[in-house]
């Protein structure tokens, strides 16, 4: 079967005050069916833009300026309105950070989940039945009570389970989770991630998991892509990438993790300096201004994606010197 998601040289710009700012440049990645792919990077690196672009739901000032994206073999750029609706109804589902925003506060959970099945062609009574069964599949122990509840009567973790149930009701080829556990406490977060992992196996959906939390990515994902200033700077199997980073930025992210274990959550924002303003770096490597390995060449010549091991790539001229950077003192997360 065609991959769940395929991006080839995807570039996206946002138009701001008459200028097109490049926010994603030349991002290529493939997520096979049933695979869990983690996309990490600092705030503003373009993670959510990837999620929006592949579903063609960019804000009005955003556009795909080059490259292509296909979901389950369908090129999203060329789909007509009807085919696009069809794709959103069947092939891809998305779970956002704030489940409260995804749910309608004035309708019961039962009404909302039944609606998903009704849109897929079920009768009202069949839809209610299937909705309740779906809540059971996301390990909600008392589905009938939850069906009769309004969103505000449920905890954040319970709301997120409902949203995940509604997403999986479509039996999508691709499930996109954008920071789904930010704002939940650590125990609930672990439960939700564990749930996503078992549902991925049960439903066979591929997962694109967007997160600041490297520990969460390490526990859920088999492959990882590291985004920096709109470029995929490193990619590879989770275990190899976390234990032996081949890009100085990845090494920096790992070094930033709080000493007291990986459960600490977001810690990506304390590499010295700031990511560049979109469009401000026009020559050389986007990471050069913050990089401990940078030489003159890095400021003039953009590094290509080099093959740095089985299934691994790095956009660094000096990927073989990353080992020489100071290492973190703790064991890697996997």
Q: Which stretch binds ligand ATP (CB under 6 A): 40-48, 69-77, 183-191, 288-296?
A: 40-48
Check: CB of residue 109 under 8 Å from CB of residue 149. Answer: yes
Residues 41 and 226: their CA atoms lie apart, in Å, by 6
Q: How buried is 55 (Cβ within 10 angstroms: 0-12 exposed, 13-18 middle, 19+ buried)?
A: buried
Residue 3 near ligand ATP by CB under 6 A: no
Q: Which does 14 bind (CB under 5 to 8 A by kind): Mg ion, ligand ATP, none?
A: ligand ATP
Residues 159 and 141: their CA atoms lie apart, in Å, by 14
Check: CB of residue 159 under 8 Å from CB of residue 100. Answer: yes
Q: Which does 265 bind (CB under 5 to 8 A by kind): ligand ATP, Mg ion, none?
A: none
Residue 182 near Mg ion by CB under 5 A: no
Residues 103 and 105: their CA atoms lie apart, in Å, by 6
Q: Which does 280 bind (CB under 5 to 8 A by kind): ligand ATP, Mg ion, none?
A: none
Residue 180 near ligand ATP by CB under 6 A: no
Residue 16 near ligand ATP by CB under 6 A: yes
Considering only residues 10, 14, 138, 206, which one is a binding residue for ligand ATP as defined by CB under 6 A?
14
Nearer to Mg ion, 229 or 293 (CB): 229
Residues 6+ apart with CB under 8 A from 296: none
Considering only residues 4, 23, 54, 146, which one is a binding residue for ligand ATP as defined by CB under 6 A?
23
> From residue 259 to residue 298, what is the string marking binding to ligand ATP with x (rule CB under 6 A)?
-------------------x--------------------
Q: Which does 278 bind (CB under 5 to 8 A by kind): Mg ion, ligand ATP, none?
A: ligand ATP
Residue 313 near ligand ATP by CB under 6 A: no
Check: CB of residue 71 under 8 Å from CB of residue 7. Answer: no
**Contacts with ligand ATP in 220-239 (CB under 6 A)?**
none
Considering only residues 3, 22, 38, 44, which one is a binding residue for ligand ATP as defined by CB under 6 A?
44
Q: Supply angle C-alpha 184, 190, 191, rounded to 5.
A: 90
Which DSSP letter does residue 213 get?
A: -
Residues 211 and 265: their CA atoms lie apart, in Å, by 10
Considering only residues 5, 13, 47, 271, which one is a binding residue for ligand ATP as defined by CB under 6 A?
47
Residue 45 near ligand ATP by CB under 6 A: yes
Considering only residues 59, 204, 261, 304, which one is a binding residue for ligand ATP as defined by CB under 6 A?
59
Residues 192 and 160: their CA atoms lie apart, in Å, by 8
Task: Characterize the bridge pairing of strands 19-31 and 206-210.
Answer: unpaired
Considering only residues 30, 48, 65, 108, which one is a binding residue for Mg ion as defined by CB under 5 A?
48
Nearest to 220 by CA among 80, 2, 36: 36
In the three-class reduction of DSSP (H, G, I as helix; E, B as strand; rest coil), residue 114 is classed as helix
Residue 40 near ligand ATP by CB under 6 A: no
Partnered with residue 165 across adjacent β-strands are: none
Residues 223 and 312: their CA atoms lie apart, in Å, by 10
In the three-class reduction of DSSP (H, G, I as helix; E, B as strand; rest coil), residue 255 is classed as helix
Residue 19 near ligand ATP by CB under 6 A: no
Q: Which stretch binds Mg ion (CB under 5 A): 30-38, 45-53, 117-125, 147-155?
A: 45-53
Residue 48 near ligand ATP by CB under 6 A: yes
Q: Which residues bind ligand ATP (CB under 6 A)?
A: 14, 16, 23, 41, 43-49, 59, 61-62, 278
């Amino acid at each position: 079967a065609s991959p769940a998601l395929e991006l080839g040289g995807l570039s996206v710009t946002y138009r701001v005050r008459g200028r097109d700012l490049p926010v994603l440049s030349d991002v290529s990645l493939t997520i096979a069916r049933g695979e869990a792919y983690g996309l990490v990077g600092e705030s503003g690196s373009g993670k959510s833009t990837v999620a929006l672009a592949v579903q063609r739901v960019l804000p009005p000032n955003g556009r795909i300026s080059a490259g292509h994206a296909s979901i389950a073999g369908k090129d999203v750029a060329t789909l007509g309105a009807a085919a696009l609706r069809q794709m959103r109804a069947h092939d891809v589902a998305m779970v956002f950070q704030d489940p409260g925003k995804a749910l309608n506060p004035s309708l019961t959970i039962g009404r909302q989940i039944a609606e998903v099945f009704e849109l897929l062609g079920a009768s009202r009574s069949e839809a209610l039945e299937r909705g309740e069964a779906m809540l059971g599949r996301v390990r909600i122990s008392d589905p009938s009570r939850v069906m009769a509840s309004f969103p505000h009567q449920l905890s954040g973790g319970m709301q997120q389970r409902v949203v995940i149930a509604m997403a999986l009701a479509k039996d999508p080829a691709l499930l996109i989770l954008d920071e789904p556990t930010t704002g939940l406490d650590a125990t609930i977060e672990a439960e939700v991630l564990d749930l996503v992992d078992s549902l991925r196996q049960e439903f066979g959906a591929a997962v694109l998991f967007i997160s600041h939390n490297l520990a969460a990515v390490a526990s859920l994902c088999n492959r990882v892509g590291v985004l920096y200033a709109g470029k995929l700077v490193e990619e590879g199997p989770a275990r190899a990438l976390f234990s032996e980073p081949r890009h100085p930025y990845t090494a920096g992210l790992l070094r930033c993790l709080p000493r007291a274990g990986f459960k600490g959550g977001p810690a990506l924002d304390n590499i010295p300096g700031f990511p560049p303003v979109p469009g401000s770096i026009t020559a050389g490597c986007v990471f050069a201004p913050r990089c401990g390995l940078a030489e003159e060449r890095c400021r003039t010549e953009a590094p290509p994606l080099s093959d740095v091991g089985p299934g691994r790539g790095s956009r660094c001229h000096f990927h073989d010197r990353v080992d020489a950077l100071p290492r973190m003192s703790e064991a890697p997360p996997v």
